[in-house]
C-alpha cells in the first residue's frame, strides 16, 4: 500500500502556474513540477471537494488546467468531523481567523487518515511554529495529524 498524500491547492497552483519573474515562485514551481514528474507515483494522491472548488476559481483556462491535473485523484468528503477539527483549530488560535480554509484542509486530511499533507502554504499549514499546536488539536480530537510538508521535503531520492 502506498503512503497517502492530501494534495492542497497551492501544489496544484504551482504545478500549473504561468511563468513569473518572482524567483521564489519560479523555484516553487520548478520543485513542484520535478516532484510531480519524479515522485508522485510513489504515493496515493487525494484532494478534497474544497481543493476542487479552489482550483475551479479564477481564470477559466487556468482553472481547467488545474482541474485537469487532479483528474483521477480520489476526492475526500468534507465531513462534519473535519469541520469540527477545523473549528477547534480556529478556537485555540493555532491558525488566524483568515485561515479558516487552511484549517479545513488540515481537518479533512487528519479525519481521513492522510499520512502527509503536501502544501506550499508555509504561513498557516507547513509552519514549524504552529505544528505542535495543530498536531495537539488533531490528537485531542482523536485523529493522528498528517505530516505537513512541501514537495522539497517529501522526496525519496
What are phi and psi for residue 22, nearest 5 degrees?
-75, 115
Give the length of the chain.
Answer: 157
Pick from 136, 142, 43: nearest CA to 89: 136
Q: Tell me how far apart the alpha carbons of residues 119 and 76 are, in angstroms, rounded to a whole number.
A: 16
User: Hey, where are the domains in the chain?
Assistant: 4-149
Grid coordinates in use for 44? 496515493
Per-residue pLDDT in tens (0 to 9) along the chain, 157 residues: 999 999 999 999 999 999 889 999 999 999 999 999 999 999 999 999 999 999 999 999 999 999 999 999 999 999 999 999 999 999 887 777 888 999 999 999 999 999 999 999 999 999 999 999 999 999 999 999 999 999 999 998 7
Which CATH superfamily hosts domain 4-149?
Answer: 5'-nuclease (3.40.50.1010)
Find the helix packing angle between 9-16 and 23-38, rounded to 10°: 100
Amino acid at each position: 500500500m502506498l503512503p497517502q498524500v492530501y494534495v492542497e491547492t497551492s501544489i496544484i497552483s504551482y504545478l500549473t502556474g504561468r511563468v513569473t519573474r518572482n524567483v521564489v515562485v519560479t523555484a516553487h514551481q520548478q520543485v513542484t513540477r520535478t516532484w510531480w514528474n519524479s515522485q508522485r507515483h510513489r504515493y496515493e494522491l487525494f484532494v478534497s471537494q474544497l481543493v476542487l472548488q479552489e482550483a475551479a476559481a479564477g481564470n477559466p483556462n487556468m482553472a481547467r488546467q488545474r482541474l485537469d491535473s487532479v483528474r483521477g485523484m480520489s476526492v475526500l468528503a468534507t465531513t462534519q468531523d473535519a469541520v469540527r477539527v477545523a473549528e477547534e483549530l480556529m478556537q485555540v488560535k493555532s491558525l488566524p481567523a483568515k485561515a479558516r480554509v487552511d484549517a479545513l484542509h488540515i481537518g479533512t486530511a487528519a479525519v481521513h487518515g492522510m499520512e502527509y499533507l503536501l502544501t506550499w502554504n508555509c504561513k498557516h499549514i507547513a509552519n514549524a511554529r504552529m505544528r505542535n499546536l495543530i498536531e495537539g488539536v488533531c490528537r485531542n480530537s482523536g485523529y493522528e495529524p498528517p505530516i505537513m510538508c512541501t514537495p522539497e521535503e517529501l522526496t525519496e531520492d
